[in-house]
Amino acid sequence: MENEKAEQIKSIIPSYTPMRELPEDLSLAEAKEMFYSICQIREFELKVRDLWRANKIRGMCHAYYYGEAIAVGACHALEKGDYITSTHRGHGHALARGASPGRMFAELFGKAEGYNKGKGGSMHIADVKSGILGATGIVGSGIAPAAGAALSAKLQKNGKVSLSFFGDGACNQGPFSETLNMAAAWNLPVIFLCEYNQWAIGTDYWRVTKEHDAYKRAEGFGMPGIQIDGFNVFEVYKAVRDAAARARAGEGPTLIEARYMRMLGHHVGDDQNYRDEKDLERISVLYDIEPVTRTREFLESAGVPKEELEDIQKRAAAEIQEAIAYADTQCHEPSLETLYEDIYADGEIII
C-alpha cells in the first residue's frame, strides 16, 4: 500500500524523497522554526484567499500555498544580505525572508504602511531591505536581474549570493537561457531556483515542453543542475545550501528544479476549468506529502510533542489574525500627494 502510493507520487514528483532525518547541519529547533514559517505562509495565503473573496484585496492574488517548503527551505539556506528575486507568486518568499505579515497585509489592502506604500499590491510585495530585489509580475523577468545582483556581488567582492525564484513557465522565456549562459560564462554567484509546479497559468507545462526535466538544461549552459522534491523543506534547504556554498566559493551558478505541484488555481479566483477531474484525482495523493502535513509528521516522529506542534500552528494563525487586524484598523490610505513620489530618485518629480 505504502509502496503503491509512493509510486503514484513518484509519477508526479520523480524526485520524491521521504523526510526521514534532519539535515546534519540543522537543529531540531531550527526545524521547528521552519515549521512555524511554513504554517505562517499557509495561514497567510488561506486568509488572503478569504479576503480576496470578500473583496478586501484588489487585483490578482497568486497564492503560495503548498509551495511553502521551497521558500522556507531556500531562504533558511541563505545568509542575511543575500539577494533574491521573487515572482508574482511571491508572498511566501517575502514571509520566508522575514517580512512582517502585518505590513504585507497592509500592502494587500493598499495601505500607506505596506511594503510598497500601497503601490505594488500582491504581485510586487517585497521587503527590499531584506534583500528582495522586487517581485515581478512578468514571467521570467527576475532571472536576469538576479544574475545582475550576482555580478554586483562579484564586482564588489562582498561574498553575497543571489537567488532567483521562477517557475517552470519562465524556463521557456528567452532571458532564462541568456542569463544562465552569462552566469555560467562569468561564474556568477547565483542560484536559479525553479519552482516547478507543472502549470504555466492554464497550460500544462508538459503539453508545451518536450523535455520535462528542466534541470537538464543546466548541462547545456555548463553548470550543475539538480532536481529535488519541492514539497520537502529539508531537500530544498540542502540543495540551496550546497549551491550557495559553490557560489560563494566562486564556482558559479546552479540550476535547481524543485518539483512540486500547483494544487489549486493559478490565482485565488481561478476556477481551473482547464483541469479535469482525473487530474485532480491523480494529484490528490500529494496532499499526503504537502509541506504542512509532512513537516509536522516529521517533527512528531522526531519527538516533538503534538501539543507543541499544535501550539506552533495556533501561534502562526494568531499572528496572521493580528496582522490582518493591524492592516485593517491601524493603517492608512496613502494620500493622493504620494502619487508622484518615488517615480524618480531623490524626490525629483517630473510631470
Instruction: Decide if residue 343 touches another protein (CB under 8 A).
Output: yes
Q: Of the listed pieces 45-53, 181-189, 198-206, 208-216, which binds another protein according to CB under 8 A?
A: 181-189
Record the cell numbers describing residue 260, joined without a space: 512540486
CA–CA separation, 145 and 108 (whole Å): 25
Looking at 40, 116, 187, 295, which residue binds another protein (CB under 8 A)? 116
Q: CA 125, CA 104: separation in Å to the nearest integer?
A: 7
Contact between 117 and another protein per CB under 8 A: yes
Torsional class of 124: left (φ above 0), alpha (ψ -120 to 50), beta (otherwise): alpha
Cβ of residue 8: shortest distance to another protein, in angstroms? 39
126 near another protein (CB under 8 A): yes
Cell of 245: 556554498
CA-angle at 153, arms to 247 and 94, nearest 5°: 80
Interface stretch with another protein, choices 29-37, 60-68, 69-77, 155-163 (CB under 8 A): 155-163
- Binder of another protein out of 8, 17, 100, 181 (CB under 8 A): 181
Query: Would you list the DSSP string of 53-94?
Result: HTT-S-S-----TT-HHHHHHHHHHSPTT-EEEEESS-HHHH
Q: Is 346 in the site for another protein (CB under 8 A)?
A: yes
Alpha helices in 86-173 (DSSP H): 91-96, 101-108, 143-156
153 near another protein, rule: CB under 8 A: yes
Cα-based distances in Å from 77 to 5, 245, 263: 30, 10, 25
Whether the CB-CB separation of 48 and 108 falls below 8 Å is answered with: yes
CB of 49 to another protein, least distance (A): 23
What long-range pairs does 212-218 form, CB within 8 A, spacing at least 24?
A: 213/257, 214/168, 214/171, 214/255, 214/257, 215/255, 215/256, 215/257, 217/171, 217/177, 217/180, 217/255, 218/180, 218/254, 218/255
Contact flag: residue 149 with another protein (CB under 8 A): yes
Piece of the chain touching another protein by CB under 8 A; list 53-61, 146-154, 250-258, 305-313 = 146-154
Q: Is residue 129 within the footprint of another protein (CB under 8 A)?
A: yes
Among 44, 64, 83, 205, binds another protein (CB under 8 A): 83
Q: Smallest gap, in angstroms, from Cβ of residue 136 to another protein?
A: 7
| Closer Cβ to another protein, 35 or 326, answer by number | 326
Of the candidate spans 14-22, 40-48, 225-233, 340-348, the one that interacts with another protein by CB under 8 A turns out to be 340-348
Residues of this chain that bind another protein (CB under 8 A): 83, 85, 114-120, 124, 126, 128-129, 133-134, 136, 138, 141, 143-153, 155-156, 162, 174-175, 178-179, 181-182, 185, 341-346, 348, 350
